[in-house]
Amino acid sequence: RRVITDKTQAITVILKPGYAPIEQYAEMPDMSQGAWTDVYALAAVMHVAVCGRAPPPSVARLLADSYVPLAGNELLRQRYSLALLAAIDAGLGVRPEARPQSMAALRDALGLDGAQTGAPTRAPSPAAHRSPPPAPPASAPASSNGSGKGKLIAGVASIAVVAAAAAGGWWFMQGKDASPAATDATVTAPPPADKVAEAPAPAPPAPPPPPPIPRTALESLATIGSGATPGFDVVATPRKAEVIIKKDRLAFDVKSNRDGYVYVYLLSSGGEMFMLFPNLLDKYNKISAGSPISLPRASWPMDAGGPAGVDHFAVVVSERERDFSAAGIQNDGVFPQFPLQVLSALEATRGTGPSPLVGKPVCPSAAPCNDVYGVGKFEITEK
């Protein structure tokens, strides 16, 4: 679901792990949202109802699918139909094309269409098809009615005699000419349609493309500037390129040749990816052209805390505020964090598109707007 907290905040997508399909985490050309998105969510609810727990998160399954099909669980098969369990498994396909493509298709998989819900209708007894016995002959006084009925009975009897004679003649002729007729039928009958022109055997399916080579977090950070706007210059420089753990502080300056909003990413020496700025303590991230800003500010100083290694920084200055919800960003602490497992799954499906880390511009209306931004990078070594 999508909610807007206030007029100054970007649109936020709230996704429930286990219930949200992969296409809701990011807009990808080969994974658009549709009826199959609702099929996944409904199948996840059915999964909880059947076995008491939600399926594994879809982003984790994209890399290494740990989902255990319900149809193979012998205990569940004793309680539920195989069609129900198999339909839930199908509805929880990781990729959109692996699922039923509509609710109607899901109903078909569940066996709901055409199912008989009322009591079965009893077949009529043979007696119901019998003709009523003929009425006894009318008495003499009812001469007019008796005469009419007699004529009707006589007519029916005549038709029955003629039909019987015709049937007898047909049976006699069939017995007499059975062999020639069979021979003629054999000679003149056209061959079955499927023998006239057999369709060529279908070509074997093409082998699936090899899985993409997963990008590391450092590679994701390195490609963040691939979609930067030419001429949008951002310079970010550290106060110290090398710092001593538990002694020095991390500090840097940012300068841009255009007005915008500053976003600072940190891939720490411990291997975690953070949105360093803006953060819970400091949300004012505007910058004016030609006027540098110094970070971190006094309200959130950063001591060199290790481990020993290299801290990789990327600084984005964007013409518009940006929304990072599709990148799976989590706001659990002072500094929002990008879970590396989610980032790796998004990178595996983005193809040649922009890095999921860069997010999307928050446009003033529903209409799309130009994505204009510049990128600067630097490193600080902790010793």
- pLDDT tens-digit profile of 234-265? 999 999 999 999 999 999 999 999 999 999 99
* Stated pTM of the model: 0.51
Fold held by 2-110: Transferase(Phosphotransferase); domain 1 (1.10.510)
- pLDDT tens-digit profile of 126-167? 444 444 555 544 444 344 444 444 444 444 444 444 444 444
Query: Which residues of the chain does CATH 1.10.510.10 include?
Result: 2-110
pLDDT (tens place) for every residue of the chain, 383 residues total: 333 333 333 334 456 778 888 888 766 667 788 999 999 999 999 999 998 888 988 877 877 788 899 999 888 888 899 999 999 999 999 889 999 999 999 999 998 865 443 334 444 444 444 445 555 444 443 444 444 444 444 444 444 444 444 444 444 445 444 444 444 444 455 555 554 556 677 777 777 665 556 678 898 899 998 889 999 999 999 999 999 999 999 999 999 999 999 999 999 999 999 999 999 999 999 999 999 999 999 999 999 998 999 999 999 999 999 999 888 888 878 999 998 888 888 887 777 777 889 999 999 877 778 899 999 999 999 99
- 3-class secondary structure per residue, the chain: CEECCCCCCCCEECCCCCCCCHHHCCCECCECCCHHHHHHHHHHHHHHHHHCCCCCCHHHHHHCCCCCCHHHCHHHHCCCCHHHHHHHHHHCCCCHHHCCCCHHHHHHHHCCCCCCCCCCCCCCCHHHHCCCCCCCCCCCCCHHHHHHHHHHHHHHHHHHHHHHHHHHHHHHHHHHCHHHHHHHHHHHCCCCHHHHCCCCCCCCCCCCCCCCCCCCHHHHHHHHHCCCCCCCCEEEEECCCEECCCCCECCEEEEECCCEEEEEEEECCCCCEEEEECCCCCCCCEECCCCCEEECCCCCCCECCCCCEEEEEEEEEECCCEECHHHCCECCCCCCEECHHHHHHHHHHCCCCCCHHHCEECCCCCCCCCCCEEEEEEEEEEC
Query: Which residues of the chain does CATH 2.60.40.2550 include?
Result: 217-382
Is the domain spanning 217-382 CATH 2.60.40.2550? The answer is yes
